[in-house]
Amino acid sequence: MAKYTEDDLKVELENKEYEYGFYTDIESETFPAGLNEDIVRAISKKKGEPEWMTDWRLEAFRAWSEMTEPEWANVHYEKPDFQAISYYSAPKKKDKYASLDEVDPELLDTFKKLGISLDEQKKLAGVAVDIVMDSVSVATTFKKTLAEKGIIFCSISEAIQEHPELVQKYIGSVVPQKDNFYAALNSAVFSDGSFCYIPKGVRCPMELSTYFRINQGGTGQFERTLVIADEGSYVSYLEGCTAPSRDENQLHAAVVELIALDNAEIKYSTVQNWYPGNKEGKGGVFNFVTKRGLCETNAKISWTQVETGSAVTWKYPSCVLKGDNSIGEFYSIAVTNNFQQADTGTKMIHLGKNTRSTIISKGISAGKSQNSYRGLVQIGARAENARNFSQCDSLLMGNNCGAHTFPYIENKNSTAKIEHEATTSKIGEDQVFYCNQRGIPTEKAIALIVNGFSKEVLNKLPMEFAVEAQKLLEISLEGSVG
Amino acid sequence: MELKEKLISSFMAFEEQIDVNSGLHDVRTAAIKNFETKGFPTKKEEAWKYTSLNAVLKHDFTVFPKHESAIEFKDVKKYFLHEIDTYKVIFIDGKYSSFLSQTTHDGLDVCLMSAALNKPKYKMVIDTYFNQIANKDETLTSLNTAFAAEGAYINIPKSKVVEKPIEIIYFSTGQENALMVQPRNLIVVGENAHVQIIERHQSLNENPVLTNTVTEVFALKRAIVDYYKIQNDLGSANLIDNTYIAQKQESRVSVHTFSFGGNVTRNNLNFYHQGERIDSTLKGITIIGDKQLVDHYTLVHHAQPNCESHQNYKCIVNDNATGVFNGKIYVEKEAQKTDAFQQNNNILLSDKAVINAKPQLEIFADDVKCSHGCTIGQLDESAMFYMQQRGIPKKEAKALLMYAFSNEVIESIKIPELKQRITKIIAQKLGVNLGFDL
């Protein structure tokens, strides 16, 4: 048996090229670089938005102009020049496609390379895909099946046209325009995204899924996702991302808002695999995302994320547990390699009585990467019998990476029960030895250990996604996941 | 005039008043400049997120007390560990009290900072250690450095085991309407030496006091230092305690902090490792009520392999009080085989009480064992019920549980008389007679 050590693994990881690094050559219609009120107006006009939406965007832009970029996160990078980015880019052929045959074959090819060809997806019953390619929704499948149940699943620009009352009521209700620097920027310039509404008492029969891709060089991607689960409904939403290899840093500032009304449940799963930059730390996507969910009485929101990509990640999916008995959950695996930096975690804001939250975070750092968990558990004065359990574990591979934990716990109620634990460890020589002893080769042993380490979170992913997640883990930690 | 301006403008006068050598002059000037730029910390700063000094700084503090005050030993006897013989370094309103003190130069130096700063025979020690480990960027430490003139100076030579504990007590008499004092302590413990130190700040009446103290402790090879801080001051006293500890290889340093009194108490406790196989212990009991605030801000900087650190902070908060714990473990790349443990347990007794905790880990080495645990909860109802069933009144049962909660910290106190004293203070604080002595 060839001796496979952690060093070999490290070498292999470093040499691993980004598998999804290709670039689709489709003529794009791109706005001139820079951002001002005219650009905001132009984006809004381009999308044929009603006046209230234009005003809403302008309000966000004005707030953004007064804000400064946050610097508290444990990440270091060259700040993007917000005036050098083009804020709108759309594949030029804007006609609506009647069938897949009319879609640009090159585009279809892109999806094939990603392993999510529409044909295949169509056959794989149960998954409807709303594909976002450089900001504009190109194709939506399974819309009909959903429509029968009264479920609205479309791009947000379509929703603005066709369901303005829903959009106007809920957009910005969880993440206000002025929430933070990136949320304000997104509110001003978002070009597209997904919209989902589940009516009262409906259990969505399939997993809803969106694939995001950043394609055109030098463009930013600003999606806006809005998911509304009406009383007593249930939805499981999947979001997955891959981006092609590019040298200049690309900016990604998305906003996701979830609203779970009384007794509703939303399960939101993400697999993020944006281009992480090459092994010298050049290039890669800046991922600055604001995700937040609001839980009314008895509602439940569950975030599951697998973060393997991006040069810089800044992401804190949060739950505002407003209603009594509501539940928030956060399950995360963050893998960083080479020069990647991740500052991710969650916020659980307990406002209602008997609210419960669970946080399980697993960080794996390899190469020269930095991986931070930053979380807030806040118990309000009126949140009686609130309960929180947090666990954040870090696994370090090699001696050039770092793992950090910044948990904030703020309690104003004497009946609250809060537990927090964190551990940091490496793959123990004794663990590997134990496996070797029993005839398991080192490579398999490492795979076993990493798998076991992240199992708690992988188990939370929907079936269809779990396979994909393991595939993406492989890309980041090839050789360690069998 | 704002306190900041007052301090800056009185700096010149202060420098003229004490005749110090030019080397220190540069240190002081740099320090006051740093304070001038940064000012007093505000809640906007991450390190002071949960603690506001605004209300404290509103008082019109006197920076230099005008009166010399004397106090009678019988009035303050209860603040001393009078059951046993100790060395004593006592200050009244920032001025040394030779009457109450018991210093020595016999085999070891237990004396005054002012003497150490001015006399040539101490110059070498001062040059080697003074302001070496204290954080030069930190604004309140800089403020103290700028005005550093008086405090305790303790130098234990190689292989000396100090046979009795050393007590450092700062009294404020309340002669001034509001007083700000800035003691500066320097403690150097030589190779294989062993010392026990007890530090206390005590005001004698209700006039507000702001103490901004800096203590530098150097534990050389295989030295053993046990440091106890008793913070049971009146409700008008505010304390900012900055303690910096540098440890050489195989040294063992433990710091126990008992916070029961005071208005705003902030403990900045920093451990820096400068050798292998070091052991650091940080423990604390906080029992507070009313509108008190106690903020523990700890840092253990692991820079060398095979070191251990143990932290255990217990906090019971009642009424409108706020307990803050911010513990940071920093493990450098070189510090392989580090074993760092941190535990923070909190009990909230009232709905208006607040706990803010931020246990932080920053780790750059892969072969380490680092863990932290943080809990917030209530007293176990079934345990309460069990005791009440057996005829123990509710109040006593509650006190017993709280005592048991803090016992993990109490039992590691190495001076029996001090252990007894702390137990008594806890009983008093909980308003019960525990019915047993330890």
pLDDT, tens digit, 9 for 90 and up, residues A242-301: 555 454 557 888 899 999 999 999 999 888 777 777 777 777 788 888 999 999 999 999
Q: Tell me how far apart the alpha carbons of residues A364 and A223 are, in angstroms, rounded to a whole number.
A: 28
Q: What is the DSSP letter of B104?
A: B
Taking residues B23-52, what's their average pLDDT? Answer: 89
Q: Do A153 and A128 touch, CB atoms closer than 8 A?
A: yes
Last residue of a domain, one of B275, B301, B330: B275
Residue the block writes with tokens 């650190």: B309
**pLDDT score, position A199:** 92
How far apart are the CA of B371 and the nearest CA of chain A, in angstroms?
4
* B370 contact A CB<8A: yes
**A420 to chain B: nearest residue by CA?**
B374
Place of tokens 């809920």: A170
d(CA A30, CA B250): 65
Tell me, yes or no, if B354 comes closer than 8 A to chain A by beta carbon: yes
Strand A152-155 and strand A194-198: the pairing is antiparallel
* Of B241, B275, B309, the domain-final residue: B275
In this prediction, residue B141 has a pLDDT band, given cuts at 50, 70 and 90, of very high
CB-based contact B361 A414, cutoff 8 Å = no
Task: Give the residue from B147, B50, B5, B106 showing the smallest Cα distance to B354.
Answer: B50
**Of the candidates A355, A439, A350, A357, the residue with the CA atom closest to the CA atom of residue A391:** A357
Q: Please answer whether residues B266 and B240 qualify as being in contact, where contact means their C-beta atoms are separated by less than 8 angstroms.
A: yes
Same domain assignment for residues B392 and B261: no
Mutation target among B48, B313, B361 for the A interface, most CBs of A within 10 A: B361
Contacts of A439 (CB under 8 A, 6+ apart): none
- Examine the pLDDT at B111 and tell me if it is beyond 70: yes
Asked if B16 reaches chain A (Cβ–Cβ under 8 Å), the answer is no
Q: Inter-chain contact A409–B350, Cβ cutoff 8 Å?
A: no
pLDDT at residue A68, as a whole number: 84
Look at residue A67 in the predicted model and tell me its pLDDT: 85
Residues 6+ apart with CB under 8 A from A464: A124, A126, A127, A207, A209, A238
Q: How many CB atoms lie within 10 A of CB B25?
A: 11
Is position B55 within any domain? yes
Asked if A409 lies within 8 A of B46 by C-beta distance, the reply is no
Closest by CA to B399, choosing from B235, B313, B287, is B287
B326 domain residue, yes or no: no
Inter-chain Cβ pairs, chain A and chain B, closer than 8 A: 117
Top-confidence residue, A308 or B342 = B342
Classify residue B294: in a domain, yes or no: no
Cβ contact (<8 Å) for B366 and A426?
yes
Within this chain, do residues B258 and B391 fall inside the same structural domain, yes or no? no
DSSP characters for A347-411?
A: EEEE-STT-EEEEEEEEEE-TT-EEEEEEEEEE-TT-TT-EEEEEEEEEE-SSS-EEEEEEEEEE
Q: What is the CA radius of gyration of chain A?
A: 22
Whether the pLDDT of residue A192 is over 80: the answer is: no
Place of tokens 């929180």: A388
pLDDT at A360 over 80: yes
Q: Which tokens hold the place of A183?
A: 């949320």
Residue A193 near residue A223 (C-beta atoms within 8 A): yes
Instruction: Out of B354, B366, B372, name the one closest to residue A422 (CB).
Output: B372
Among the listed residues B280, B48, B31, B293, the one whose alpha carbon sits nearest the alpha carbon of residue B148: B31
Q: Do the Cβ atoms of A411 and B355 come within 8 Å?
A: yes
Average of per-residue pLDDT across B84-99: 90
Instruction: Report d(CA A169, CA B198) in Å as an integer.
Output: 63
Residue of A nearest to B322 (CA): A412
Does A47 have pLDDT greater than 90? Answer: no
List the one residue out of A204, A286, A283 whose CA is nearest residue A238: A204
pLDDT band at A29 (very low <50, low <70, confident <90, very high): low
Give the structural domain span for B85: 3-275
pLDDT at B120: 86
Closest CA to B97 of B118, B117, B75, B129: B75
Q: Does B357 sit within 8 Å of A409, measured CB to CB? A: yes
Largest Cα–Cα distance of chain A, in whole Å?
A: 70
Is the confidence at residue A217, as pLDDT, over 80?
no
A291 contacts A256 by C-beta, under 8 angstroms: yes
Residue A273: φ, ψ to 5° = -140, 50
* pLDDT one-digit tens code per residue, A88-105: 665 544 344 445 555 556
Residue-wise pLDDT for B303-314, tens only, equals: 999 999 999 999
Hey, are the CB atoms on B354 and A402 less than 8 Å from each other? no
Helices (H) and strands (E) in chain B, counts: 10, 20
- State the number of CA atoms in the 13 A half-sphere of A471 facing the CB: 16
Q: What is the pLDDT of residue B231?
A: 92
What kind and span of H or E run contains A334? strand A327-336
What one-character DSSP code corresponds to residue A17? P
Which of A270, A275, A271, A297 has the alpha carbon at shortest distance from A286? A275
Give the phi and the psi of residue B70 in degrees, each rounded to 5. Answer: -120, 145
Q: Which long-range contacts (CB under 8 A, 24 or more apart) does A185-188 make?
A: A185/A60, A185/A64, A185/A82, A185/A222, A185/A253, A186/A222, A186/A224, A186/A253, A186/A254, A186/A255, A186/A290, A187/A56, A187/A57, A187/A60, A187/A64, A187/A224, A187/A255, A188/A35, A188/A40, A188/A57, A188/A58, A188/A60, A188/A61, A188/A64
Q: Residue A165: what are its φ and ψ, rounded to 5°?
A: -65, -40
pLDDT for position B143: 93
Structure confidence by residue, pLDDT tens digits, B370-421: 888 888 888 888 999 999 999 988 888 888 888 889 888 999 999 999 998 8
Task: Say if the Cβ atoms of B376 and A409 lie within 8 Å.
Answer: yes
Write the pLDDT tens digit of every residue in A403-456. 888 899 999 888 888 988 888 888 777 888 899 999 988 777 777 788 788 888
Q: Integer distance in angstroms from the first to the last C-alpha of chain A?
A: 17
Rounded Cα distance, A206 and B183, in Å = 69
Q: Per the domain annotation, does B352 fall within a domain?
A: no
Q: Which residues of B touch A424 (CB under 8 A)?
A: 361, 363, 368-371
Q: How far is A406 from chain B (nearest CA, A)?
A: 5
Q: What is the DSSP string of A269-329?
A: EEEEE-----TTS-S-EEEEEEEEEEE-TT-EEEEEEEE---SEEEE--EEEE-STT-EEE
Of A155, A201, A152, the residue nearest A47 (C-alpha): A155
pLDDT score of A141 more than 70 = no
CA distance B199 to chain A (A): 30
pLDDT tens-digit series, residues A61-82: 888 888 888 888 778 887 777 7
Report the domain count for chain B.
Answer: 2
What is the structure's pLDDT at A300? 94
Q: Are residues B105 and B248 in the same domain?
A: yes
Q: How far apart are CA A218 and CA B62, in angstroms?
A: 61
Burial class of residue A250 (count of CB atoms within 10 Å of its CB; 0-12, 13-18, 19+) = buried
Q: Which two tokens stand for residue B67?
A: 């009166």
Q: Does residue B251 lie in a domain region?
A: yes
Sign of the CA dihedral with A176 first, then A179, A183, and A187 last? positive
Closest to B323 (Cα-Cα) out of B284, B360, B280: B284
Q: Is pLDDT larger for residue B15 or for residue B364?
A: B364
Please return the burial class of A294, using the count of CB atoms within 10 Å of its CB with bins 0-12, 13-18 and 19+. Answer: buried
Q: What is the pLDDT of residue A479?
A: 40
From residue A213, how far is each of A24, A314, A359, B25 by CA, in Å?
Answer: 11, 18, 29, 62
Contacts of A396 (CB under 8 A, 6+ apart): A365, A402, A403, A424, A425, A426, B363, B365, B366, B368
3-class secondary-structure state, position B185 = strand
Contact A138, A169 (CB under 8 A): no
Q: Enter the pTM of the model.
A: 0.80
Which residues, 6 or more positions from B40, have their beta carbon under 8 angstroms from its beta carbon? B3, B4, B53, B57, B139, B140
| Beta carbons of B176 and B143 less than 8 angstroms apart | no
Touching check for B71 and chain A: CB below 8 Å? Answer: no
Give one DSSP letter per residue of A27-84, joined into a string. -EEEPPB---HHHHHHHHHHTT--HHHHHHHHHHHHHHHH------SS---PPP-TTS
Name the band, by pLDDT with cuts 50, 70 and 90, for residue A126. Answer: very low
Say which residues have a Cβ less than 8 Å from residue A234's Cβ, sequence separation at least 6.
Answer: A198, A202, A203, A204, A264, A265, A266
Most B CBs within 10 Å, among A394, A424, A426, A431, to test the B interface: A424
Cα–Cα distance, A340 to A371 (Å, whole number): 8
Q: Tell whether B288 is covered by a domain.
A: no
pLDDT digits (tens, 9 = 90+) for B276-298: 999 999 999 999 988 999 999 99
Q: Which of A405, A431, A432 is the best residue to mutate to test the B interface, defined by the most B CB atoms within 10 Å of its own CB?
A: A405
Facing residue for B366 by CB, picked from A399, A405, A421: A399
Handedness of CA A88, A24, A195, A68 (dihedral sign): negative
B267 and B384 fall within a common domain? no
B362, A402: Cβ pair inside 8 Å? yes
**DSSP calls for B342-402:** EEEEEEE-STT-EEEEEEEEEE--SS-EEEEEEEEE---HHHHHHHHHTT--HHHHHHHHH
Does residue A119 surpass a pLDDT of 60? no
What is the C-alpha separation between A150 and A146, in angstroms, rounded? 7
Range among A92-106, A133-147, A320-334, B368-382 rated most confident: A320-334
∠ CA A469-A359-A418 to the nearest 5 degrees?
A: 170
Q: What is the pLDDT of residue A3?
A: 53
- The owner of tokens 């190689």 is B158
